Amino acid sequence: MDKSYMKLALKLAARARGRTSPNPMVGAVVVKDGNIVGRGFHQKAGTPHAEIHALREAGSEARGATIYVTLEPCCHYGRTGPCSEAVIQAGIARAVVAMADPNPLVAGKGLKRLEEAGISVTLGVMEEEARRLNEVFLKYIATRLPFVVAKAAVSLDGKIATRSGKSRWITGPEARAYGHLLRDRYDAILVGIGTILADDPALTTRLPGGRGRDPVRVVLDSRGRTPPGAKVLNQSSEAPTIIAVTKEAPFERIAALRGAGAEVLVVSEGPRVDLPALMKLLGAREITSVLIEGGAGVHGSALEAGILDKAAWFIAPKIIGGSEAPGPVGGFGVDDPAEAPELERVKMRRLGKDFYLEGYFKYRGG
């Protein structure tokens, strides 16, 4: 029964996917005498946590009940009060927790506080599922660096465009719709100047019914060549656009981009934007996740820099061919297949006529 109720708490937590950054997704369920009397999930940073919502719904029924929560209740004052104290005051008799909170401000202190108050604590129920749900938070809270995902749409022979540069559309509508769902889930989307100049993309989230949250748009543009009239700088969107340049970018171009509404970050000396340095700057702004949408040069640089955590690959069952047709990853590559970074925990599923593959990077020697 513990797993059954925790599974429900995890489903509740996932309802806020893409909305809680820089906080984790958390769900809570209050059960008394075999009946669910309270449910809740953390909906947005700065709002009440999952435990508070569930305890409010349970009311007086919380006394003597069991609370199932996907992450250790916090024990410190931040934007909201400590959930551990709320659990104690509600009269909860038992707490079932999926995983301890790696945040140094909590890190076991919340569980200890519950036990000191006489509450029975069970830890580790569906911990693997809870960790997977909050993979972004777990990396960010430990390193203050964003979780980075490489996304690409390729043909079966590994092409992202034809030899003439045409890429619309390699994959079908179902795959493209899921791509927009990924944009909705991650804090930022990153592309290179080549993509801006070739396609002039909007880099917004377009889900059915006008739903979706636009990610922060980040453009790697070492010399500030983004046109002030580009779509990334001219649209009605609450998300800002960041242009990452080097010191080789002329002052007048930087001034023009800032005049067009962009935030310009001078990241490195040049000639290319230093990706690890950029990730540190984004992390300092509480950007906890980055979706890289190519092209080949950017993916190659990200792979060589070792900043990638996950791959999100859309594969169309069609053959484009052509020795001059580009692939999804550029750069120098490896000399021996044995040196290549591998993906682990790989999963694949169908999306219409296409296939979607995701997995986690395992770097050699890392």
Detail the residues annotated as belonging to a binding site for Zn(2+): 49, 74, 83
Q: What is the 3-state secondary structure (H, E, C) of 101-164?
A: CCCCCCCCHHHHHHHHCCCEEEECCCHHHHHHHCHHHHHHHHHCCCEEEEEEEEECCCCCCCCC
Catalytic residue among 51, 61, 72, 358: 51
Name residues whose C-beta falls within 8 Å of residue 16's C-beta, 6 or more positions apart in sequence. 25, 41, 42, 43, 44
Which residues does the annotation place in the binding site?
Answer: 49, 74, 83, 153, 167, 169, 183, 195, 199, 203, 206, 222, 293, 295-301
- Quick one: tokens of 339? 């040196």
Q: What contacts 210, CB < 8 A, 6 or more positions away?
A: none
Annotated catalytic, 51?
yes
Q: How far is CA 228 from CA 193, 216, 233, 259, in A?
A: 13, 17, 7, 8
Sheet of 120-123: strand order equals: 35-41, 27-32, 66-69, 94-97, 120-123
Residues whose CB is less than 8 angstroms from the CB of residue 362 and which lie 6 or more positions away in sequence, other chains included: 341, 342, 343, 344
* Positions marked active-site: 51
